Amino acid sequence: MKIDRAEVEHVALLARLKLSDSEMEKLTNQLNSILSYMDKLNELDTEGLEPMAHAQPIHNAFREDEVRPSLDPDSSLSNAPERNESFFLVPRII
């Protein structure tokens, strides 16, 4: 067993997902079979190998710090589920 039900619940919370009992059950099984398959990578000795996070050898892409046009507030907020003038509205936090 790679991952048990309690761990699936923990990961779901980290990912901000609320899952039903049956979804949790199904996912526990599926994640176990998927993660077991990943064990295949342990056949390879990767000691000392450089990890490759990206396909191109670009590290930093610098540009001049210049003011350029950007979206106006109204367009930026045009998809907001709820807004007040130029602010996004969210449920009470404190």
Partner 1 sequence: MNILELSIHDLAEVYSRKEVSPVEVTKTYLKAIEDLNPKLNAYITVTEDLALEQAQAAEKTIMAGNQSTLTGVPLAIKDLICTKGIATTCASKILTDFVPPFDGTVTAKLRENGAVFLGKANMDEFAMGSSNEHSAFGPVLNPWDESRVPGGSSGGSAAACAAKLCAGALGSDTGGSIRQPAGYCGVVGLKPTYGRVSRFGLVAFASSLDQIGPITRNVTDAALLLGAVAGYDPADSTSAHQPVPDYMESLTRGLSGLKIGVPKEYFIDGLDAEVEKAVSQTIKNMEDEGAELVEISLPHTEYAVAAYYIIAPAEASSNLARYDGVKYGLRSEESSDLMEMYLSTRSNGFGPEVTRRIMIGTYVLSAGYYDAYYKKATQVRSLIRRDFDEAFKKCDIIACPVTPSTAFKIGEKIDDPLNMYLSDIFTLAINLAGIPGISVPCGLSQDKLPIGIQFLSDHFREDLLLKAAYNTEQISEFS
Task: Give, in degrees to the nearest 5, the angle at Cα 15 between 19 and 81.
Answer: 85
Please pick, from the candidates 21, 22, 51, 85, the single residue that binds partner 1 as defined by CB under 8 A. Answer: 51
Tokens of 80: 């907001």
* Residue 78 touching partner 1 (CB under 8 A): yes
92 binds partner 1 (CB under 8 A): yes
What is residue 83's DSSP assignment?
E
CA distance 73 to 35: 44
State the residues that interact with partner 1 by CB under 8 A: 3, 7-8, 11-12, 14-19, 23, 27, 30-31, 33-35, 37-38, 40-44, 46, 49-56, 58, 61, 63, 71, 75-76, 78-82, 88, 90-93
